[in-house]
Amino acid sequence: MRSTAQANKAEAKWISLFNGKDIEDWFVKIHHHEVGVNAHETFRVEDGMIKVRYDKYGDFNDQFGHLYYKTPYSYYRLVVEYRFAGELQRGAPSYTVLNSGVMFHSQDPHTMPKEQDWPISVEMQFLAGLGDGKVRPTGNMCSPGTDIVFQGKKYDGHCLNSSSKTFGKDEWVRAELIVLGDSLITHMINGDTVLQYTHPTMGGGVANNYDRSVWQEGKPLKSGYIALQSEGQPIDFRKVELLPLR
């Protein structure tokens, strides 16, 4: 007779969240627009990749956006392969240059008002070097509308840098998340563990104009939606795969 661990290992299979052809299993929420409106074709599929582009924009006008997979998850490994492309869109905040990410444990975007800018979620932030020789790690943590515990204490800040090296603008990077409900979260870059923290909860600031009935300070974040980010910097995603762990 197989052990439970052997059975679980045999049954676990990686799921391709992106099929390489379309984003029919995904839906969009962009600031200033209703959920489901892919304004300016921000998210599109070309050359077998999900591309975030702004060639149909005028001024950026704080149109921060996210592309959500249709199913929420709780315990899983997530792999995202990305590279930055192009130039920062006119009018986008300077801090968003070569900056993007993947959100997880996110609220359902259908609960987001039109004027909510960021989803209540945790972000694995992606950055690339600015060409100035300064260290700029990727695989960091940011926390819109949330809090985390780092090294045994509630983290007093919005973003927390990882220990990764700095990558160039056009380099493909493999980012991996290991999410164990509301307990341990692990960030990995190109196979190396670069950050770990625990106990994500609702809290903090940064997210604005959310429905007050949705945000509950101190509520553990045990599951939620996964979303690819758009905040003014063109970026490509060629792989988005998930392995359920429970």
Per-residue pLDDT tens digits for 54-88:
999 999 999 999 999 999 999 999 999 999 999 99
Q: Which fold has domain 14-244?
A: Jelly Rolls (2.60.120)
Per-residue burial over 64-81, b if 16 or more Cβ lie within 10 Å, else e, is: bbbbbbeeebbebbbbbb
Q: In this predicted model, what pLDDT tens digit does every residue of 226-242 receive, in sequence order?
A: 999 999 999 999 999 99
How many Å apart are CA 40 and CA 59, to the nearest integer?
12
User: In the chain, what are the domain boundaries?
Assistant: 14-244
* Residue 241 neighbours by CB distance under 10 Å: 15
Q: Region 33-37: what's the mean pLDDT?
A: 97
Query: Which residues, listed in sequence order, are joined to residue 22 by a DSSP beta bridge?
Result: none
Tokens 């995202």 locate to: 80
Buried b / exposed e along 132-171 (16+ C-beta atoms within 10 A): eeeebbbbbbbbbbbbbebeeeebeeeebbbebeebeeee
Average confidence (pLDDT) over 116-133 = 96
pLDDT for the residue numbered 202: 95
Q: Is the pLDDT of residue 187 over 80?
A: yes
Question: The whole model's pTM is what?
Answer: 0.93
